[in-house]
Structure 1
Amino acid sequence: MTINLAKRIPVGKGCAYTGISRRDTMIFPNNRSFEIAIYGAYDAFGLIGPEQNGIAILDNDNLRVVLDRYSEIQTGYFGASENQVKEYLKIAAMNWEQFVEFVNNNEKTRNKI
């Protein structure tokens, strides 16, 4: 299996996470909403980079990338790795407190919650 470039999440003018193999919306009891996805490549103005891949978390309320390139592998060209799926499922099962702690203490975080 190779990445499906049609499955994408736009993250700015001309840029997107692409090759999405899993994607969910996490809505917490405080009504905060986040997208979580495993992506196989990053599309920067048509330049596809499968070396930039992993798990991304996007803040739906503040419209920004919270974290990306988490659990990155050498290439996302062949889809999600077993470890990426395992990490994705761990994150998806977190409660609000666990999620905030995970994001705010992660080296891949761009914007703390």
Structure 2
Amino acid sequence: MPTLGELERAVMETLWSATGPVTARDVQEALASRDLATTTVLTVLGRLERKGLVTREREGRAHRYRSVASREDHVAELMRDALDAAPDRGAVLARFLGTIAADERAALRKLLD
């Protein structure tokens, strides 16, 4: 799973929060506090497309972009990648469980049952 830079994460958050495919202008407006040029947004969207995280479809003169997978799917894939990198998966899982709140551990127990 490719890693994301700060701006790439912000763009992905915008796509994940959208109710459907969005234009680069939509992304730019959603990230207005960053004062990004349209070309910057297009560059980031192109990078995300090459990383396989975003698809685009032509609509008139513009393209509409959407994420390939949900935020939850992306995070789950990152977690799998992290586990795959560990020689002792059990130790990593034990450490992880030791860092999460009791209610999250209970939710995990419920999911496992």
Q: TM-score, normalised by structure 1?
A: 0.27
In proportion to residue count, which structure has more strand? 1
Structure having the higher Rg:
2
In proportion to residue count, which structure has more helix? 2
Q: TM-score, normalised by structure 2?
A: 0.27
